[in-house]
Amino acid sequence: MNKSQSRNSGPEPIRKSFFRRSQSIYQLKNPLCYVCRTLDFRSDTLSSPSKNNKNIILGTYDDLLQRTSCQFCQLVLHLVRRKEETVDLCIVDHDGPSKRTETKYELRKFGDAFEIYDGSSIQGYIHPATKDASPVPPATSSNLSGSLLDIGRIRSWISECELKHVNCGIMEDSLVNREPLDILLVDVQNNCLVKATTSQQYVALSYVRSNIRMFHTTKSNYKALRKDGALDPQKTKLPKAISDAMRLVAMLGERYLWVDCLSIVQDDIMRKHVQLNNMNKIFGNAFFTIISASATDANTRLHGVEPGTRLPYVVAETIQGTHFISRPANLRALLDQGSYGSLAWKYQERLLSRRCLVLTAHQAYFLCLSSVHTDATSCKPNASHPELDVPSNPLAGIQLRRTLKAKTSPDIFSRGGFLLYDELVHAFTKRALSHPVERLSAFAGIGAVLKESYGSAFLSGLPESLFDLALLWASSATDDSPTTPSPPRSPHFPSWSWASQPGPIAHATGPLASALQRGSPGLQVETGPIYLHKPHSFRPVERRYGALLQPPRGSSSSTACLPSLSPPPPPPLARRSPATLYFSACTARLEQFSLRAYDWAAGAARMLVYAMPSGRCCGKLWPDAGSWGELAASASASASIPALASAPVPASAPGSAPVSASASPPADGTREMVLLSRAHVEGVARYMDLGYHFAADAFPDTEWGLLNVMVVEWRGGVAERLGVGQIHVAAWEAVEKERKVVVLG
Ligand SMILES: [Zn+2]
Ligand SMILES: [Zn+2]
């Protein structure tokens, strides 16, 4: 934690000339720099755990570059070297020098290997070579230049997939080819823009654009760019990633390239909106997608298209008698983190592509539904093949199932069907998005593929047929606590949608965990019909029930006191959300409970819920990212919790507390728990996992022992979500409740 402690590199000595002389003398005997000299390379100690677990700071790229005579730093440079990005930036319309923050590289010992980090993601490994290691080039600076891409080999991968893999065409076939989309393509023969549709054979480019301003298509230059030669890289200052991609497409014998900044007229708002929401068609129909996976911005070259832009897969160096090799991080790590892997739009582009040609600083991969190829020279450091460790594509499973089952939909109401949705949403929401307003657009392509399989529309990112389950998403931000205010909720989306959240969300770790662990039957709905109110429509949400979810128990008991729901007057304009939900539900004032912050350091942020006045812990809350502070404040302001001693909860017969019906909306600032569903759990205390906090004696096991609630706050007649929770049914039955129409914005 304490950075100054782990900083091993001292300041540059003042007596520089003396230092240089003594350093050069020293290097004859021990060619390691002053940082690496502190590392222990002797083979007999390598397998033992490192004495000091803290990371060793190696310094910035420039620091490493200066230590040219250090053998170990050369091995590190192989993993972080980004020569091409530091020179010859060719930016049109560039406002000031790019603000690239200086990354400091760190070293961590892991078994007998050193791991190199850039602060957040792993860059690669330096470890002793095994005896069967094939010869690899030494890491001298003259050797740090890899080969060009083997075009013939890449072509053979593509044609093998095209001709032999029956499954690899289906992403387009089953989903997206029914109505081709009008698109603009770059003709790499005539160097101009052409009008086409997604049924044309074309290659798509997925790259990191970053925040640099660059050449793009506008309404004003569109006509000019359609003339032959207008996009000639010699004449037009295109970002390096794009000019390289044009070259590569031509080298591979293809003619058309789709790339966002040229293929989307950037100031044509209406058409841009259509294109952004149809990425499933654009990437799903691409013959293949070129992914520039280790790029930091649009001026990063595509590695291996031009000489000197790629590094060898591994390099070796003998240090103190041990043969070490330096090899880059696996593709899985690169596509899960890193500058490309951490972007939400890029996640969607990769998942929607049928075939990917992934270019990294060290190697080229070809991924399709049936095969993985790479041109890395395997050094086989272990029996495994780290160079082939690639991430899977969750959507590919859907595609395969659809073909195998003659295109019938998978059972989405099963546990597996919902877990797939959860996996995709979690992976998507933990990735960064520069414009929060695009949160649903960047998921729309994935949503379109799921819609085909699930057979239902998506309402603000939630599958309509699984609506009751999907409403129970929980914020899974780990660094969120009352002391670190999280960014506010996005006003562009309704509070009931995860799209309004700034951070990662999950279902399987929130209130839904009980249903997903148990399977069937997991949840029973407790609300009345849910209506969706958009600016020009008011209609019921078509929820479906299945193994995980049961309809409201005995339709009479749950629906008898429902007020009839006719289209209500729209709420005041200022408070109107893009999509408002109307439903009748049982609610209880939050002030009848007490809250206490709990355990935000150990994973998902949670709060304990105490029944009052007994002060016994009856459940937990998952506050939404933006509402931690508010709920924590209300927790400390509320009545202090009595000592967790004896006071038993007054025994109450089920449903004994009165339920009144309310007509007028609560006053501004009123906070309530809204009862959504009832969860079936076996062993409430064990399931709650709150240790001694949970009052297991007061809240014993019962068959449907837990209630799923949403915590809301009313403003201007509209309730906004603050979080979700699970409390014991006995605690709920002991408080005063109201049945009312909840207007959820
Ligand atoms: Zn060094
Ligand atoms: Zn294939």
- The confidence band for 649, taking pLDDT boundaries of 50, 70 and 90, is very low
CA angle 362, 365, 366 (to 5 degrees): 165
Q: Cα(156) to centroid of ligand 1, in Å?
A: 41
- The confidence band for 133, taking pLDDT boundaries of 50, 70 and 90, is low
How many percent of the chain have pLDDT more than 70? 74
Q: Cα(240) to centroid of ligand 2, in Å?
A: 29
Q: Cα(38) to centroid of ligand 1, in Å?
A: 9
Higher pLDDT, 600 or 653: 600
Ligand with an atom nearest the CA of residue 373: 2
Ligand with an atom nearest the CA of residue 369: 2
Ligand with an atom nearest the CA of residue 160: 2
User: What is the C-alpha to C-alpha distance for residues 110 and 272, in angstroms, rounded to an integer?
Assistant: 47
**Which amino acid is present at 478?**
T
Ligand with an atom nearest the CA of residue 368: 2
Q: Cα(371) to centroid of ligand 2, in Å?
A: 6
Q: Cα(357) to centroid of ligand 2, in Å?
A: 12
Asked if residue 738 lies in contact with residue 731, where contact means CB atoms within 8 angstroms, the answer is no
User: What is the C-alpha to C-alpha distance for residues 662 and 685, in angstroms, rounded to an integer?
Assistant: 34
**Which amino acid is present at 535?**
P
| Per-residue model confidence (pLDDT) at position 266 | 95
Out of 359-368, 392-401, 480-489, 579-588, which region has the weakest mean confidence (pLDDT)?
Answer: 480-489
**Domain ranges across the chain:** 3-143, 151-314+330-380, 507-744
659-711 pLDDT tens trace: 666 667 889 999 999 999 999 888 899 888 888 899 999 999 988 899 999 99
**Which amino acid is present at 460?**
S
Helix axes 394-404, 344-352, angle to 10 degrees: 30
Q: What global pTM score does this model have?
A: 0.85
Query: DSSP labels for 33-64?
Result: -TTGGGS---HHHHSSPPS--SPEEEEEHHHH
| Per-residue model confidence (pLDDT) at position 53 | 53
Ligand with an atom nearest the CA of residue 393: 2
| Per-residue model confidence (pLDDT) at position 40 | 76
Query: 630: which residues sit within 8 A by CB, 6+ positions away?
Result: 713, 722
632: tokens are 């924590």
Strands ordered across the beta sheet of 322-328 = 56-60, 104-110, 113-117, 122-128, 322-328, 315-319
Q: Cα(162) to centroid of ligand 2, in Å?
A: 7
Ligand with an atom nearest the CA of residue 63: 1
Q: Cα(303) to centroid of ligand 1, in Å?
A: 26
Q: Cα(543) to centroid of ligand 1, in Å?
A: 61
Query: DSSP labels for 438-473?
Result: GTTHHHHHHHHHHHHHH-S-EETTEEGGGHHHHTT-
In the chain the first and final C-alpha atoms are separated, in Å, by: 41
- Residue 734: pLDDT above 90? yes
**Which amino acid is present at 239?**
P
Ligand with an atom nearest the CA of residue 158: 2
Asked if residue 537 lies in contact with residue 505, where contact means CB atoms within 8 angstroms, the answer is no
Higher pLDDT, 569 or 490: 490
Ligand with an atom nearest the CA of residue 167: 2
Q: Cα(132) to centroid of ligand 1, in Å?
A: 27
User: What is the C-alpha to C-alpha distance for residues 567 and 576, in angstroms, rounded to an integer?
Assistant: 15
Buried b (16+ CB within 10 A) or exposed e, 581-596: bbbbbbbbebebbbbb
Ligand with an atom nearest the CA of residue 114: 1
210-221 pLDDT tens trace: 877 889 999 999
Q: Cα(31) to centroid of ligand 1, in Å?
A: 8
- Residue 163: pLDDT above 50? yes
- The confidence band for 499, taking pLDDT boundaries of 50, 70 and 90, is very high
| Per-residue model confidence (pLDDT) at position 417 | 79
- Residue 318 CB: number of other CB atoms within 10 A? 11
Asked if residue 718 lies in contact with residue 571, where contact means CB atoms within 8 angstroms, the answer is yes
Ligand with an atom nearest the CA of residue 356: 2
User: What is the C-alpha to C-alpha distance for residues 464 and 482, in angstroms, rounded to an integer?
Assistant: 34
Ligand with an atom nearest the CA of residue 59: 1
| Per-residue model confidence (pLDDT) at position 136 | 67
User: What is the C-alpha to C-alpha distance for residues 67 and 690, in angstroms, rounded to an integer?
Assistant: 52
Query: 557: which residues sit within 8 A by CB, 6+ positions away?
Result: none
Query: 179: which residues sit within 8 A by CB, 6+ positions away?
Result: none
Query: DSSP labels for 207-244?
Result: ---TT-------TTTHHHHTSTTTT-TTTS---HHHHH
| Per-residue model confidence (pLDDT) at position 645 | 36
Ligand with an atom nearest the CA of residue 39: 1
Q: Cα(367) to centroid of ligand 2, in Å?
A: 7
Question: Which secondary-structure segment (H or E) carries 251?
Answer: helix 240-251
How many percent of the chain have pLDDT more than 90? 37
Q: Cα(282) to centroid of ligand 2, in Å?
A: 18
User: What is the C-alpha to C-alpha distance for residues 608 and 619, in angstroms, rounded to an integer?
Assistant: 6
**Which amino acid is present at 134?**
S
Q: Cα(370) to centroid of ligand 2, in Å?
A: 5
Q: Cα(86) to centroid of ligand 1, in Å?
A: 21
Q: Cα(327) to centroid of ligand 2, in Å?
A: 27
Q: Cα(163) to centroid of ligand 2, in Å?
A: 9
Q: Cα(97) to centroid of ligand 1, in Å?
A: 30
Q: Cα(63) to centroid of ligand 1, in Å?
A: 10
Q: Cα(171) to centroid of ligand 2, in Å?
A: 11
User: What is the C-alpha to C-alpha distance for residues 611 and 635, in angstroms, rounded to an integer?
Assistant: 13
Asked if residue 426 lies in contact with residue 476, where contact means CB atoms within 8 angstroms, the answer is yes
Q: Cα(10) to centroid of ligand 1, in Å?
A: 13
The residue-averaged pLDDT of 24-50 equals 62
- Residue 2: pLDDT above 70? no
Asked if residue 325 lies in contact with residue 136, where contact means CB atoms within 8 angstroms, the answer is yes
Ligand with an atom nearest the CA of residue 41: 1
User: What is the C-alpha to C-alpha distance for residues 205 and 576, in angstroms, rounded to an integer?
Assistant: 39
71-89 pLDDT tens trace: 999 899 888 866 444 333 3
| Per-residue model confidence (pLDDT) at position 217 | 96
Cβ neighbourhood burial of 96 (10 Å; 0-12, 13-18, 19+): exposed
User: What is the C-alpha to C-alpha distance for residues 680 and 678, in angstroms, rounded to an integer?
Assistant: 7
